[in-house]
Amino acid sequence: MGKKGKILWGFIGIMLLFLLAACAEDSTTSAPANDTSDDSATVPTAADPDNRTVVVGGLYDITGGTGDVGTPYAEGEQAYFEYLETKGGVEGLNLVLTGKDYAYSIPEAQKIYQELRDKEKAAAILGWGTGDTEALRQQVATDQLPFFSASYSESLKNTKESPYNFLIAASYSDQGRAVLKWIKENHEGDSPTVALLYNDTAFGRSPIEDIKAYGKEIGVEVVDEQVIDVQATEAQSQLLNMEKKNPDYAIIQQTWAATSTILRDAKTLGIDTQFIGLNWASGEGIIDIVGADIAEGYIGILSHAFPYEEQPGMAEIKEYLDSKGMTIDDIDQKFVQGWSAAKIMVAGIQAAAEKYPEGDLTGPQIREGIESLQNFDLGGLGANVSFSADNHAGTEMTRLGIVKDGKWEQLTDYFSY
């Protein structure tokens, strides 16, 4: 399936999403892996009455402000659990992923989290956004539920304040520092100058002060900041203000929608600043939205692999897709990112089950299992991750890519600032 087919497939999926939500508001029926409707989507692995059941809760953004990247990410998480089911599950365990769309609303996330904890008896959580993850972290610590977020906020690295939160990719701040390091080492001419373009959410603001501090440390001057809404359809006024400072580079902390608006309007205005996006501002969606000509030369953080990259870890994904009559053209990098998060979570649960072979697995036991993962190999789907009791930041490694001839190409290997 090509790009047009992908767009049609996505449109059909959205229509089905709303149809399912209208017809099955109170349904508790198990859903297939790609059902990310705003009702609960439950993916069990192969059930065995003699096995121990472990429920993992999911918080998804399908219909909210970051649903452009949240939808394929959630599909990737659910697909991994369904893949395990097709392989006969995990020995000794019945794994169940059950989650809901919270539409990027913090109060709704808190409500759904309580349902997952109390009604579904979740022992661990696969979450999503920065604002809701930070709002929940004290509750998560009290409830002792290990929590993987799709937010890579630096604040979540503090194990004293966030003892049950884990990061499975380089933090936004570490990504920003890596970008500055690359600029410092590769810029030609006078000392480089940088602008920061971000949205006024916890996600958007998360790395800004750390990027500015690191810029001062290494001699890269941040000359401008512009706030652009996460769903902006126009950014010319902010870009014209930025242009007055004439930065050599502009770092974008957005998702696909606003990033595409920035690139399109910059092209219209003839701005020749080099734009560089952090991980949610990178991916195939940028090219699909603005086209290859406008995206050409755009640089971004590539935290995870693209489906077309020849990585060992893609073999499982291809096997799953083949069982569904699908190909790698039907998924994107954010799907791979969600799949990777689920894979790491399951590995932590398996480690806990081996250490505690009897009785129901608890949140603290699963946390120990995750903390035991050392140099866990994702087969190139992302940087290897390692955890410990005093370090829940799985990695500081990330890489950069660039759009060439309508396709993302790797610009650097994985590196740390």
At residue 229, does pLDDT exceed 50? Answer: yes
Note whether 3-170+311-371 and 172-302+399-410 share their fold.
yes
Residue 361 carries which side chain, given as an amino acid letter? L
The token pair that represents 127 in the structure block: 């979450």
Q: What pLDDT, on the 0 to 100 scale, is given for residue 42?
A: 77
Specify the CATH superfamily of domain 172-302+399-410.
Answer: Response regulator (3.40.50.2300)
Over residues 101-111, the mean pLDDT reads: 98
SS3 string, the chain, reads CCHHHHHHHHHHHHHHHHHHHHHCCCCCCCCCCCCCCCCCEEEECCCCCCCEEEEEEEEECCCCCCHHHHHHHHHHHHHHHHHHHHCCCECCEEEEEEEEECCCCHHHHHHHHHHHHHCCCCCEEECCCHHHHHHHHHHHHHHCCCEECCCCCHHHHCCCCCCCEEECCCCHHHHHHHHHHHHHHHCCCCCCEEEEEECCCHHHHCCHHHHHHHHHHHCCEEEEEEECCCCCCCCHHHHHHHHCCCCCEEEEECCHHHHHHHHHHHHHHCCCCEEEECHHHCCHHHHHHHCHHHHCCCEEECCECCCCCCCCCHHHHHHHHHHCCCCHHHCCHHHHHHHHHHHHHHHHHHHHHHHCCCCCCCHHHHHHHHHCCCCECCCCCECCECCECCECECCCCECEEEEECCEEEECCCCECC
Q: What pLDDT, on the 0 to 100 scale, is given for residue 18?
A: 36
At residue 412, does pLDDT exceed 80? Answer: yes
pLDDT of 143-196, one tens digit each?
999 999 999 999 999 999 999 999 999 999 999 999 999 999 999 999 999 999
pTM for this predicted structure? 0.89
Q: What pLDDT, on the 0 to 100 scale, is given for residue 48?
A: 79
Q: What are phi and psi of 141, to 5 degrees?
A: -65, -40
Q: pLDDT band for position 55 (50/70/90)?
A: very high
Q: How far apart are CA 31 and CA 29, in angstroms?
A: 6
Q: How far apart are CA 43 and CA 185, in angstroms?
A: 46
The token pair that represents 317 in the structure block: 């994904």
Q: How far apart are CA 338 and CA 228, in angstroms?
A: 26
* Of the candidate ranges 13-27, 291-305, 376-390, the one whose mean pLDDT is the lowest: 13-27
pLDDT of 308-364, one tens digit each?
999 999 999 999 999 999 999 999 999 999 999 999 999 999 999 999 999 999 999
Q: What pLDDT, on the 0 to 100 scale, is given for residue 39?
A: 52
Strands 193-198 and 299-301: unpaired
pLDDT of 10-31, one tens digit each?
433 443 443 333 333 333 333 3
Token pair 């649903």 is found at: 67
**In the chain, domain spans:** 3-170+311-371, 172-302+399-410
Name the average pLDDT for the chain.
91
The CATH number of domain 3-170+311-371 is 3.40.50.620: no
At residue 49, does pLDDT exceed 90? Answer: no
Over residues 260-274, the mean pLDDT reads: 98
Q: What pLDDT, on the 0 to 100 scale, is given for residue 407?
A: 97
At residue 197, does pLDDT exceed 80? Answer: yes
Over residues 272-294, the mean pLDDT reads: 98
The token pair that represents 104 in the structure block: 């990027």
Task: Give the rounded percent of residues in the chain with a pLDDT score beyond 70.
Answer: 89
* Of the candidate ranges 1-5, 51-55, 97-101, 395-399, the one whose mean pLDDT is the lowest: 1-5
